[in-house]
Amino acid sequence: AQKITQTQPGMFVQEKEAVTLDCTYDTSDPSYGLFWYKQPSSGEMIFLIYQGSYDQQNATEGRYSLNFQKARKSANLVISASQLGDSAMYFCAMRRLSGTYKYIFGTGTRLKVLA
Amino acid sequence: EPEVTQTPSHQVTQMGQEVILRCVPISNHLYFYWYRQILGQKVEFLVSFYNNEISEKSEIFDDQFSVERPDGSNFTLKIRSTKLEDSAMYFCARGTGLTGYTFGSGTRLTVV
DSSP string, chain B: -PPPEEE-SEEEE-TT--EEEEEE--TT--EEEEEEE-TTS-EEEEEEEETTEEEEE-TT--TTEEEE-TTSS-EEEEESS--GGG-EEEEEEE--TTSPPEEP--EEEEE-
pLDDT recorded at residue A100: 64
**Average pLDDT value for residue range B64-88:** 91
Q: Are strands A64-69 and A60-61 parallel, antiparallel or unpaired?
A: antiparallel
Q: What is the mean pLDDT of residues B13-17?
A: 97
Sign of CA dihedral A36, B52, B65, B107: positive
Average pLDDT over residues A57-84: 96
**Cβ neighbours of A97 in B, within 8 Å:** 98
CB-nearest to B98 from A45, A52, A107 is A52
Flag whether residue B54 sits within 8 Å of chain A, measured between CB atoms: no
What mean pLDDT do residues B42-71 have? 90
* Cross-chain Cβ contact B45/A97 below 8 Å: no
- Measured in angstroms, the CA of B39 and the nearest CA of chain A are apart by 10
Q: pLDDT tier at A99 (50, 70, 90 boundaries)? A: low
Q: Is the pLDDT of residue A4 over 60?
A: yes
Whether residue A43 and residue B105 make contact (CB cut-off 8 A), yes or no, is yes
pLDDT level of residue B33 (50, 70, 90 thresholds):
very high
pLDDT value of residue B3:
75
